[in-house]
A and B are shown apart, each in its own frame.
Chain A
Amino acid sequence: MSYELVGITVLWIFLYGYLIVASIDFGAGFFAFYAKFTKKDHVINQLIARYLSPVWEVTNVFFVFFFVGIVGFFPETAYYYGTAMLVPASFAIILLAIRGSFYAFENYGSKQSTLYTFLYGVSGLLIPASLSIALTLSEGGFITEENGSVTLNYLDLFTSPLSWSIVVLSVVSILFISATFLTFYAARANDLPALKLVRTFALFWSTPTIIAALTTFIVLSQHNERHYENMLDLWWMFGLSVGFFLMAIWFLYQQKNYGLAFISVMLQFLFAFFGYGIGHYPYLLDPYISIHEGATHASMGVALVGAFIGGLLLLIPSLILLMKLFLFDAAYVKGKK
């Protein structure tokens, strides 16, 4: 396996990791706001706060890791995406900044404010919407390069069914992933009123998720036939994805095995995300950047892979410790520590 393939695989795994942990975080923020709005905050907000407090920073790092990595392995992406994404990515940064800092202000500061909760909840939905533009752009047709200057055609972007279906898909997926995780977490904390509420959220958001996924699939076939054909060749991955989705729903209905329900959702998105990503190969930006021509030098690629392995050896034990202390420590989850 060539180093650029190793690089993109690693980065894609990290993006998948971000997708899961950030979805939990973003969705939880929205549910916390929704609960406050409907005066049910006493039921779930304690639960959400206990999970979010120790991990919010870690979530952000997944994202930083991805974009630093992609510019490292494929510097061409800085040139094209950097120029084209100036506005949408700046919006995403500002939303991330508001979200992260307001969370800290509210949580570690003294005052509870509905405004903070509102911004925290809404920014969580707007961030994925603006970041998902990068995925839309990668399909090609929105970025043009003329006379050495890269431009993004905003009119095409905002009128494209593809970009809107990706935005919708990202938002509903977040709510579905997050609700399933919170169901599992509530069950673990033995918090029955919260469990009841978040379980209905999970069931509610399952249908829009699968509909949005299918819609995106169809719209993509109109926009980028090559990518669509590649994805059809990977039909088994998407089949597995749907299978795991059905399993997750089954577990949720059964009202037991919530841990397995969440794992099924993770696998559902794993197969869909990798099916999509492998279908995208070899382009990072259709047709300007392919992973072979856009890759950095071998020496840098190898150094990055080396740093990555070294870093993982350091991080995995630390992450395990973090999870042991907070996520899987039943006494902590139940609020006794």
Chain B
Amino acid sequence: MELDTVLMSRLLTAMTLGFHIIFATLGVGIPLMISIAEFIGIKKNDPHYRLLARRWTRGFVITVAVGVVTGTAIGLQLSLVWPNFMQVAGNVISLPLFMEVFAFFFEAIFLGIYLYTWDRFNNPYIHWSFSLPIIIGGGFSAIFITTVNAFMNTPQGFETQDGTFSAVNPLLTMLNPATPTKVFHVLTSAYVTCAAILAAITAIMMLKGKVTAYHKKALRLTMSLTFLFALLTAVAGDFSAKFLADHQAEKLAAAEWHFETEQNADLILFGWLNEDDEPTGEIRIPGLLSFLAHGDFNAEVTGLEAFPENERPPLWVHYMFDLMVSIGFFLPAVALLYLVVAKVKKWNEHHKGILYLIGLSGPLAMLAIEFGWIYAEEGRQPWILRGYMTVEEAATSSPYVTHMFFLFLALYVVLGTLCVVTLRKLFRNNPAEEELEKHYPSLEKGDNE
């Protein structure tokens, strides 16, 4: 069977990105959590928090390794799989790609230093300060790469002449209309996801019976951070929707199944499409789409029919969008529940039910990242560079891309499995209680309630 090279190119890239984004998200968010834990530990002189930072770091390094190698893969695949895109767009977007490497380099250097200098300095704040360049480097990597993605959605800062780009203004290409909301959304969602995942790990340990002071502190910290960043992510999501309504209306319309341009537009939640592509079984909230898109219930929202048929994104992105948003509401709800129950003395915030919900919120948060990116990428179809180049024009002509797809599939299966196996071994063979005694033998026993 001869498979279409364009389709295989898309699948290969989707697979690499889908795998890489897990580790990239951890790479952006976890350092912030580690840094906060270490800072609290030093400030309160509490070994529990410092051990938390140590243990998180140890697991983090393994995921960084996978992030680095898959990041290298996607970096090269941009040229290998989309040579025509990089030939044209390389002229315009190479600056942020180039700076991303610098940001990552910066992060990598300090990660190496941070890892190997835990007990080397008398002043503990020196070691802590090495976490800051890691956070900054990781954050800026995300920012630079996101500007590239934003550019693909709302390209600007150049002129076209006979099919090639001329008069390029590199800064204007980076600061395109999609950049602010996208960067905000990517950063906050990475932070909330990492907080939720660390909370989920703690909750699962507690469900397994490890209800110690160490675990309780870890849960309190990560749940508070989840709540904070989940709220910020919701704000960022709202800004993103308003941005789409103004600059990329077809993407919002496809996600909301909003076909006809109208005022006082209804918001369609859930549901499915019948044979005539009409929403069925949906929940309709009158006027809410207008409000979400423009902050006014009577505002006009552009519908999908305003765009030529061959320039509309596929309608199934609605499901991705709904899943992402649902998880986006689930996360702060669980965090709020935990925080409220913890506030009331009589109630037990370590109730099994709550711990289950928290354990669920970590994987769900990562799924929301995946759904969000699938929506972001599919919602731009058929374009790779909106208005200028379609994915079909951009793909490689090499017939070997199908083989490469299966080769990389095997690679990711092996890497993913080994990563999980290694992480489990790492922590199972070295439980927190033992390590606490080893590093901080002076700590009083009896913390275990």
Contact = CB atoms under 8 A, between A and B. Distances in A.
Interface in B406-449: 407-408, 411, 414-415, 418-419, 422-423, 425-426, 429-430
B110 interface: yes
B408 to A, nearest CB: 7
A55 B115 CA distance: 11
Size range of the chain B interface in the assembly: 35 or more
A61 B99 contact: no
Contact of A105 (B77, B166, B419): B419
Interface stretch (B90-98, B222-230, B269-277, B306-314): B90-98
A197 interface: no
A67 to B, nearest CB: 6
Interface stretch (A22-30, A88-96, A158-166, A257-265): A88-96
Interface stretch (A237-245, A268-276, A321-329): A321-329
Given A58-B108, A86-B396, A337 B92 contact: no
A127 B186 CA distance: 34
B333 interface: no
A39 interface: no
A97 B73 contact: yes
A300 B66 contact: no
B90 A67 contact: no
Nearest to B94: A72
Contacts of A57: 64-65, 68, 108, 111-112
A300 B87 contact: no
Contact of A75 (B90, B95, B120): B90
B261 interface: no
Interface centre among A89, A93, A111 (most CB of B within 10 A): A93
A97 B97 contact: no
B22 to A, nearest CB: 14
B143 interface: no
B18 interface: no
B366 to A, nearest CB: 19
B283 interface: no
A110 to B, nearest CB: 5
Interface string A203-216: 00000000000000
Interface string B75-111: 1111111111011111110110111111011101111
B62 A318 contact: no
Contacts, number: 228
Interface residues of A, number: 67
A153 interface: no
A77 B166 CA distance: 18
Contacts of A246: none
A315 B418 contact: no
Contacts of A108: 58, 61-62, 65, 422, 426
A83 B72 contact: no
Contacts of B285: none
Nearest to A97: B69
Interface stretch (B43-51, B167-175, B204-212): B167-175
A64 B415 CA distance: 20
Contacts of B415: 97, 101
Given A79-B87, A337-B120, A318 B75 contact: no
Interface stretch (B248-256, B318-326, B380-388, B397-405): B397-405
A218 interface: no
B69 A300 contact: no
A155 interface: no
B19 to A, nearest CB: 11
B330 to A, nearest CB: 32
Contacts of A83: 80, 83, 396-398
B133 interface: yes
Contacts of A58: 105, 108-109, 112
Interface string A294-313: 00110110011001101100
B116 interface: yes
B137 to A, nearest CB: 10
B427 to A, nearest CB: 10
Interface string B146-158: 0000000000000
B419 A72 contact: no
B70 interface: yes
A76 B89 CA distance: 11
B170 A65 contact: no
B75 A98 contact: no
Contacts of B400: 86-87
Interface in A82-133: 82-83, 85-87, 89-90, 93-94, 96-105, 108-111
Contacts of B61: 104, 108
Interface of B: 58, 61-62, 64-66, 68-73, 75-84, 86-92, 94-95, 97-102, 104-106, 108-113, 115-117, 120, 133, 165-171, 396-398, 400-401, 403-404, 407-408, 411, 414-415, 418-419, 422-423, 425-426, 429-430
Interface of A: 53-55, 57-58, 60-61, 63-65, 67-69, 71-73, 75-83, 85-87, 89-90, 93-94, 96-105, 108-111, 149-150, 296-297, 299-300, 303-304, 307-308, 310-311, 314-315, 318-319, 321-322, 325-326, 337
Closest 8 CB pairs of A and B: A72-B94, A75-B90, A104-B65, A82-B83, A78-B86, A311-B102, A97-B69, A82-B79
20 contacts: A54-B112, A64-B104, A71-B79, A71-B86, A72-B97, A75-B87, A78-B87, A87-B400, A87-B404, A100-B65, A105-B418, A108-B426, A110-B422, A110-B425, A296-B94, A296-B168, A297-B165, A300-B91, A303-B95, A337-B120
